[in-house]
């Protein structure tokens, strides 16, 4: 199958999405589309290289928002019905809100709109599925209560991206998620993959429910379920 897989800027279910994408790419031609935020967030979680490693070649490209300018010419493939399936996993609340309002001003929202016009099915894994608390993971984070304000910050010295201001914060836009800082700090003052609970907003959950009205769009609860559906 020819599959297009869109990744938006959500940390929630991101690792599971990349793992599922890696599985699918073993048997199918997969083009990967990254929203601008998707590219940033993949890097923060140290997953960008894994996506880059499984892409390359015609219909197996890694397509970046910034390379598609404002008219998203690549999305023309969807209106022409060139793909058998479009998957968006994970999908942010931002992307869902745009989609249900017919807005198509990003690479991924444009792909979904054009897939609808080309009668191509879209499977969306939304992060905001049900109201209530949901556990999610953070990228690298300075734990200031553990920081000993060393004269030479080992974590900062170990960072190849110069992303750490000692005793202050990690600049996530520079961070590539390599995790070197976590190993380097002798006081364990840098966490990675810390689990937190966040509350799903009612507006986002109700937007997700509205996806039902879109022709050819189906909601899938987890990335793992995609493998079963596709096989």
| Footprint on this chain of ligand FMN (rule: CB under 6 A) | 8-12, 35, 37-38, 41, 44, 92-95, 106, 127, 136, 139, 172
Do residues 31 and 86 touch, judged by C-beta distance below 8 A?
Answer: no
Sign of CA dihedral 16, 21, 24, 25: negative
- Least gap, CB of 112 to ligand FMN (angstroms): 11
- Least gap, CB of 73 to ligand FMN (angstroms): 18
Residue (of 74, 85, 64) closest to 7 by Cα position: 64
- For 10, 205, 231, the CA distances from 170, given in Å and listed in that order, are 19, 31, 41
State the DSSP string of 166-204: TTTEE-TTT-----HHHHH-TT--EESS-EEEEEEPHHH
The residue sitting closest to ligand FMN, measured at its beta carbon, is: 9
Question: What CA–CA distance (Å, rounded) separates 73 from 167?
Answer: 45
- For 69, 141, 148, 157, 194, the CA distances from 165, given in Å and listed in that order, are 33, 12, 14, 10, 20
- Least gap, CB of 173 to ligand FMN (angstroms): 9
Nearer to ligand FMN, 93 or 114 (CB): 93
- Give the gyration radius of the chain's Cα atoms: 19
- Least gap, CB of 107 to ligand FMN (angstroms): 8
Nearer to ligand FMN, 172 or 184 (CB): 172
- Least gap, CB of 215 to ligand FMN (angstroms): 22
Nearer to ligand FMN, 90 or 154 (CB): 90
Nearer to ligand FMN, 9 or 116 (CB): 9
Question: What CA–CA distance (Å, rounded) separates 56 from 171?
Answer: 29
Nearer to ligand FMN, 25 or 106 (CB): 106
61 φ, ψ (degrees, to nearest 5): -70, 160
- Least gap, CB of 144 to ligand FMN (angstroms): 18
- Least gap, CB of 143 to ligand FMN (angstroms): 16
Nearer to ligand FMN, 118 or 139 (CB): 139
From the CB of residue 136, how many other CB atoms can be counted at a distance below 10 Å? 16
Nearer to ligand FMN, 7 or 154 (CB): 7
């Amino acid at each position: 199958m020819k599959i297009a897989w869109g990744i938006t800027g959500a940390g929630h279910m991101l690792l599971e999405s990349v793992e599922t994408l890696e599985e699918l790419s073993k048997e199918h031609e997969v083009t990967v589309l990254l929203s601008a935020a998707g590219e940033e967030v993949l890097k923060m979680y140290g997953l960008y290289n894994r996506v880059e490693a499984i892409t390359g070649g015609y219909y197996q490209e890694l397509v970046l928002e910034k390379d598609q300018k404002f008219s998203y010419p690549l999305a023309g493939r969807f209106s022409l019905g060139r793909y058998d399936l479009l998957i968006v996993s994970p999908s942010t609340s931002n992307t869902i809100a745009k989609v249900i309002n017919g807005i198509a001003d990003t690479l991924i929202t444009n792909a979904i709109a054009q897939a609808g016009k080309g009668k191509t099915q879209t499977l969306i894994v939304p992060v905001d599925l049900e109201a209530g608390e949901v556990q999610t993971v953070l990228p690298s984070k300075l734990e200031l209560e553990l920081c000993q304000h060393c004269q030479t910050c080992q974590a900062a010295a170990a960072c190849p991206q110069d992303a750490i201001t000692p005793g202050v914060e990690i600049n996530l836009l520079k961070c590539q998620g390599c995790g070197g800082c976590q190993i380097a700090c002798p006081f364990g003052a840098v966490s990675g993959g810390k689990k937190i609970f966040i509350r799903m907003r009612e507006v986002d959950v109700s937007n997700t429910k509205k996806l039902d009205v879109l022709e050819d769009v189906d909601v899938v609860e987890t990335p793992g379920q995609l493998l079963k559906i596709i096989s």
